[in-house]
Amino acid sequence: MSADRPDLAPLIDHALLDPHHGSSAVRQCCEEARHFGFAGVCVASRWVASAREQLPLEGKGASPQLIAVVGFPFGAVPAAVKLAEAVAAAEAGADELDVVPDFGALADRQSTPIHDELAAICELGLPVKVILEVGRLDPDALALLVEISIDAGARFLKSGSGFGPAVTVDHIEQLRQLARGRAAIKASGGIANLEQALALVEAGATRLGTSRGVALAQAMRG
């Protein structure tokens, strides 16, 4: 690894969000995260309990954070259902929550339902990252959603779910300018290679959400 570039492994949230994978893939994902020293493992709420068994809170070495997605990938469920999913994930052992907001309310410029939904989840006490889909929002909608998210208590602004346009340096720069230091930034969705990952970090990302974490870590070591 070159001395003039950051070590990416401690920034990577190792994602396993393909719904067609089962328990063996969850186990492998957790093993890879522990081996490479990734920041976290990001899974569907359905797999939190299984992943928690692989990422013990006590034991040898620092364990990656266990991250559950909530309302994933589109956020188009009632607020009560989303909160129930967040509660279930927290009770199953999640350390952090990556939450998809109500984009329908955003399209109607209804701030209160978005804020109340996110605030209720933030009140659970776990760090929350709000998934913004930067590549699909116009500037006014993005600015509004950033303000709502931060006001509701979000710790991170996450660029996308992976179901929209791939993250770009411009997306991260937009989020950094809008956040003004009030929330950290997670780049996610379509991180394809080492050069792109390094550029996103240079632009201001402090977490990288990707299913290609192993390839990135190996490229760093190569």
Which of the residues are catalytic?
98, 158, 186
pLDDT digits (tens, 9 = 90+) for 197-212: 999 999 999 999 999 9
Q: Are 208 and 11 in contact (CB under 8 A)?
A: yes
Cα(15)–Cα(213) distance, integer angstroms: 8
What is this structure's pTM? 0.96
| Domains by residue range for the chain, with CATH | 9-221 (3.20.20.70)
Cα(80)–Cα(109) distance, integer angstroms: 20
- Average pLDDT of adjacent 10-residue blocks, the chain of 222 residues: 79 97 98 96 98 80 88 98 98 98 98 98 98 98 98 98 96 98 98 97 98 96 84
